[in-house]
Structure 1
């Protein structure tokens, strides 16, 4: 389907708080606050903070803390986690944290849950326990081995995934579902279709699903290509066991790629969208139509925070016209 005729999707942000070479994790976290404020002014639907541990390239190791900070620095936009790695935590603690957030910021909090970070054999049971504790399911909290606290104000729950299992669980439970296209694009259509079919099967009223896509744009094709090469070099190195901060576009330009790096970069190109704002808008509109979603969650990695902010601004201009009109 052509991006010229397909309806444009709504935009959101998945923020991994990337750390660029020459920048500190503190710089990256402060940049996340600035980006969240800009995203709200640009009219984005939601803003999610990711969870990573022990990675020099990402500063976001406590998504619920960062989400709380961003909720306090924004006024209207939904803010949440993309996501809390549930195998690492007690369901009771997760429920308590998000009941507090939802009580202070009603109708704005998204609880996104992921299954990585530890043994995941009991992940479905953990998700169900969180739902019971938050009062999202009518079951006895003690059946989950927890003491229940049902808050008067509840977050909206989402499951995150890159395959079929979380899609089926989300459909069964009636939660939102976000597919990580930026990790592995291949199964996206099947997973989202399975999610929607399972919603219908269980009589649930879900939200249709969200596609999380890695994107970078700039004023010119040349600039966008330079930023994309930085991302591809970082990702190729990470795939090969060398986890580093994101290189600058200049360092990526000067880099002499070895055969293994080039091979990994070729694979990762499939999960990265880049170009001028108009080119990226058309591609994202096509992706939304192909996958049956009306919301794209944009994940942008750059070495310099100002390049990331500018990429989001340019994309908003391409989708909604003049940024000044959106802010008005």
Structure 2
């Protein structure tokens, strides 16, 4: 089975770096991915986080669409409880009008009271002309093919809702690996029993992974992610640590415990090893596309990891190999 690869970019802020630098690195990353053969790129929404600079994914997505030609670009995802569903639909329908066939609207239930999340999702679909085909006059422009709608989740609730409404579904393996099988089973069961809005439901698996030119470098990058994640679990939301910080760090017993919990879900090693791990997870969950999330202190390491994965999975670039090499080299400079 030929796997498609996509990317979730959380716009990580580096230790001693800036939010502006993180956003600039996200733009450079998108331009490189555009010629490496990846299918889609999603940008995330986080607020009041020293480690992530992406607080307005719809704005960043619009910028990235203007700087790329081939990728599907969208959100992973808009935290719908924070917003008016009509406004969310209006923003993405305008994006779909400007960039037809390239827009993904990923929706998450975090960020506020989630009791109304199912109702809010149904409203978004209705305003986009989805469920029931009830396109509202308030949404402009009319006659636009709506974006592909995705529900994001790490359990069965969003999976069941996605299936019932006929949207696509992305499972966040990097947040909670264990419920993946149950979540996809719930999604497919609900999808088979309900109407298919959104042009037919699709499932993808979102994993955290990193590779490098050597296994030792990949382990170093994974350790930095694990230190960042362990600190976050313990209430210390910090930027991504450098390799020097990780080497000098004296791990507490609680940090080691939290790192051990997350280590199995951080796929790392040589490109061949990460290729095998991703392929095995995709087969186990019955998906044909995997969304890869990589967090590194140095944007060049993140870009190099994606380049190596593109080579390992034999992704087919939409542009020439020379163009791909030029963009990757420029981004790493």
Give the shorter-chain TM-score range: over 0.9
What per-residue deviation string (whole Å, max 9, x for no partner) do you get for residues 34-76 of structure 1?
Answer: 1111111111110000000000000000000000000000112
Q: Deviations over 1:176-233 (max 9, x none)?
A: 1000011010101110121111111115363430000001110111000100100000
- SS of corresponding position for 1:222: helix
Contact conserved, 2:10 with 2:54, CA < 8 A, in 1? yes
Alignment of 1:152 with 2:146, yes or no, is no
**Distance (whole Å) between structure 1 residues aligned to residue 286 and residue 251 of structure 2:** 37
How far residue 152 of structure 1 moved from its aligned partner, in angstroms, is 1.6
Matched-pair contact (CA < 8 Å) for 1:216–1:300: yes
- Between 296-305 and 151-160, the greater mean CA deviation after superposition: 151-160
- The answer for the alignment partner of 1:289 in structure 2 is 283
Counterpart of 2:329 in structure 1 is none
Correspondent of 1:176 among 168, 178, 183: 168
TM-score calculated relative to the size of structure 2 = 0.92
Q: CA deviation at 1:321?
A: 7.2
Aligned residues of 1:135 and 1:150 also touching (Cα < 8 A): no
Specify the alignment match of 2:77 in structure 1: 83
Q: CA RMSD in A?
A: 1.9
Q: Determine if contact 1:129/1:141 at 8 Å carries over to the other structure.
A: no
* Pair 1:9-2:14 in alignment: no
- Which of 178, 183, 188 is residue 196 of structure 1 equivalent to? 188
Gaps of 5+ in 1: 1-6
In 1, Cα distance between equivalents of 2:226 and 2:264: 11
Distance 1:307 1:31, change over 3 A: same
Matches of 1:247 and 1:148, distance apart in 2: 44
- In the TM superposition, 1:113-192 aligns within 5 A as 113-138=107-132, 147=138, 151-153=142-144, 154-192=146-184
Aligned to 1:270: 264
Which TM-score applies when normalising by structure 1? Answer: 0.93
Asked if 1 retains the 8 angstrom alpha-carbon contact of 2:36 and 2:315, the reply is no
How do 1:1-328 residues align onto structure 2 when only pairs under 5 Å count? 7-138=1-132, 147=138, 151-153=142-144, 154-204=146-196, 206-320=200-314, 324=321, 327=324
**What CA deviation, in whole Å up to 9, does each residue of 1:105-125 have, x standing for no partner?**
011000100000000000000
CA distance in 2 between counterparts of 1:295 and 1:36 reads 18
SS in structure 2 opposite 1:320?
A: coil
The question of whether the paired residues in 1 share the 8 Å contact of 2:89 and 2:139 is answered with no
Say whether the 8 Å CA contact 1:46–1:79 is kept in structure 2: yes
CA contact (8 A) 1:229 1:253 kept: no
Give me the whole-angstrom Cα distance separating, in 2, the residues matched to 1:321 and 1:105. Answer: 23
